[in-house]
Homo-oligomer: A and B are copies of this chain.
Amino acid sequence: MAPWAERLAGVRGVLLDISGVLYDSGAGGGTAIAGSVEAVARLKGSRLKVRFCTNESQKSRAELVGQLRRLGFDISEREVTAPAPAACQILKERGLRPYLLIHDGVRSEFDQIDTSNPNCVVIADAGESFSYQNMNNAFQVLMELENPVLISLGKGRYYKETSGLMLDVGPYMKALEYACGIKAEVVGKPSPEFFKSALQAIGVEAHQAVMIGDDIVGDVGGAQRCGMRALQVRTGKFRPSDEHHPEVKADGYVDNLAEAVDLLLQHTDK
């Protein structure tokens, strides 16, 4: 691989994944990943622009930011790009009334949305709410529609909680796709529109930005397809086989966010 200085040349902005990079979610609010609190502070104290870009769809941004602040992170709601608000905008623009197959923790993001007489389904990381009954309700709504619309907040396969690997929204999205013979519209990483809206928020072009995430496909592959560079951290859901992924090669692999920030501060323009 080329030297870091070359790989990071011209970087002006950084997109940070949250779960698996800043912290591992779990009981009692989860735990910060060692060194990440300081790394975020150092990054925000530098000349680099920073935006948090998450597929978190179990919690509202308010709840997520509250949890992270309690863990010591310097973060505010207006710095976070998350899929639920993006989905709400799409629903309003297209006059869609969703059946919400979502976690109760994120329901407040949809407060302004009409959910009567549903003409689409929104699926998110619903966790325990992925009961057979709820999945079947969503399925029946879709099968009644002439042009079924399924909007999925991300399509991650799984994530890591402190207690172990947990199924994410992606597998359940695939289940409904197969059941109904349809294709979901994904809002969130790795959708290009989603990365672009995060970049717009900090006024940085894709070729000047680097994504830091623990998901080789959703974070790294998705960002690279948008023209960004991307680093994978060896925390969160990272697995050693990711470094030999058949399709995606990160611009660099680092042990954790702290190492990524060391390299960025050392090798990007002061």
Contact = CB atoms under 8 A, between A and B. Distances in A.
Interface stretch (A24-32, A85-93, A129-137): A129-137
Interface in A135-167: 135-136, 139-140, 143, 157-158, 164-167
Nearest to A178: B174
Interface of A is mostly: helix
Contacts of A172: 175
25 contacts: A128-B131, A129-B132, A130-B132, A130-B135, A131-B131, A131-B132, A139-B165, A139-B167, A140-B164, A140-B165, A143-B165, A157-B179, A157-B180, A157-B181, A167-B175, A167-B179, A170-B178, A171-B175, A171-B176, A171-B178, A171-B179, A172-B175, A174-B174, A174-B177, A174-B178
A235 B126 CA distance: 34
Contacts of A130: 131-132, 135
A141 to B, nearest CB: 11
Interface of A: 126-133, 135-136, 139-140, 143, 157-158, 164-168, 170-172, 174-181
A131 B126 CA distance: 12
Contacts of A178: 157, 170-171, 174
A166 B127 contact: no
A128 B139 contact: no
Nearest to A129: B132
Contacts of A143: 158, 165
Given A139-B158, A157-B179, A178-B174, A132 B167 contact: yes
Among A128, A158, A165, A175, which residue has the most Cβ atoms of chain B within 10 A? A175
Contacts of A136: 166-167
Nearest to A171: B175
A221 to B, nearest CB: 14
A168 B168 CA distance: 20
Contacts of A170: 178-179
Given A140-B165, A174-B177, 6 more contacts: A127-B132, A139-B167, A140-B164, A157-B180, A168-B179, A171-B178
A40 B176 CA distance: 35
A128 B174 CA distance: 19
Contacts of A175: 167, 171-172, 174-175
A260 to B, nearest CB: 26
